[in-house]
Amino acid sequence: MTQSILIIYFLSLVVFVNGGVPFEFFQFVEQWGPNVCNTGARVSPCHTPPQAKFTIHGLWPSNHSNAHLLCQSITKYTKVLLLERQLNISWPDLKGGMNNEFWTHEWNFHGKCSDPPFSLFQYFQMSLNLLQKFDVLAILKAAGLNPQTSQNIGIQNIMTPIQRTTKKYPGIRCYKNVKTGKSQLNEIVLCLEKDGATLIDCPTFVSSTCAKSIVW
Ligand SMILES: *[C@@H]1O[C@H](CO)[C@@H](O)[C@H](O)[C@H]1NC(C)=O
Ligand SMILES: *[C@@H]1O[C@H](CO)[C@@H](O)[C@H](O)[C@H]1NC(C)=O
């Protein structure tokens, strides 16, 4: 009797811990290295000069309430060796140069929330696929925009080509350069259904940090 109660107790514990955390949508966050690393501070926050491209910041299971999701998966982070070469290129730790620590953080604070259904491997693979599939730099270039020449650009001019191409509203995140005082494009966010594949409009709270005119 006591034994079967104990067994039921442990079973329910396993189901609970394995249940992941309910979330409503994904934010896929791409960062623009040259601006992330150009804060205006005397010492650059980055350990090496970044390339002029968007790289992954993270794929974040999110709620519309924007509440911080506490992840409960029991899957501990382990290096995804099969993907490491590509992760080094597409998901580098711009600031510290500690890629593996960066990926560990993203998994522990975000990725775990979507496990299940997405395993650690699937989570990183899905992120790499999303960066390839939604090439924001190519979209902006096709619209005649270029980071070298677009010094002050209306935020709408960045939103519109992405919205036209993907048919969904992206989020735009900016950062104020402490030296110039200008608002600069830091991150572009694409929002997806829980399936990690179907784009949806980003909720407005995703982009509320930009001035009307920004530096890219
Ligand atoms: C997030 O949303 C899901 C589904 O609406 C809900 O079950 C869950 O409790 C929410 N989590 C938090 C931390 O608000
Ligand atoms: C990824 O980069 C790290 C340095 O950050 C390096 O030690 C490792 O060998 C690289 N992995 C691959 C597969 O290129």
Q: At what angle do helices 120-133 and 99-109 cross, to 10 degrees?
A: 110
The pick from 26, 63, 109, 194 for probing ligand 1's pocket by mutation, whose C-beta has the most ligand atoms within 8 angstroms, reads 63
* Class at the top of the CATH hierarchy for domain 3-215: alpha beta
- CA–CA distance, 57 with 141 (Å, rounded to integer): 21
Omega prior to 117 cis, within 30 of 0: yes
Residue nearest to atom 9 of ligand 1 (CA): 22
Residue 84 Cα: closest atom of ligand 2: 13
Whole-number pLDDT of residue 113: 93
Whole-number pLDDT of residue 69: 86
- CA–CA distance, 136 with 161 (Å, rounded to integer): 9
Cβ neighbours of 182 (radius 10 Å): 16
Reduce the DSSP state of residue 105 to 3 states and report it: helix
- CA–CA distance, 170 with 188 (Å, rounded to integer): 7
Report residue 74's pLDDT band, with 50, 70 and 90 as the boundaries. confident
Whether pLDDT at 11 is above 70:
no
Q: Give the single-character DSSP code of 50.
A: P
Provide residues with CB under 6 Å of ligand 1.
Answer: 22-24, 63, 65, 67, 69
Report the range of poorest mean pLDDT among 12-21, 123-132, 135-144, 190-199: 12-21
Q: Give the single-character DSSP code of 52.
A: S
pTM to 2 decimals? Answer: 0.89
Whether pLDDT at 20 is above 60:
no
- CA–CA distance, 88 with 86 (Å, rounded to integer): 5
Residue 68 Cα: closest atom of ligand 1: 13
Provide residues with CB under 6 Å of ligand 2.
Answer: 84-85, 88, 99
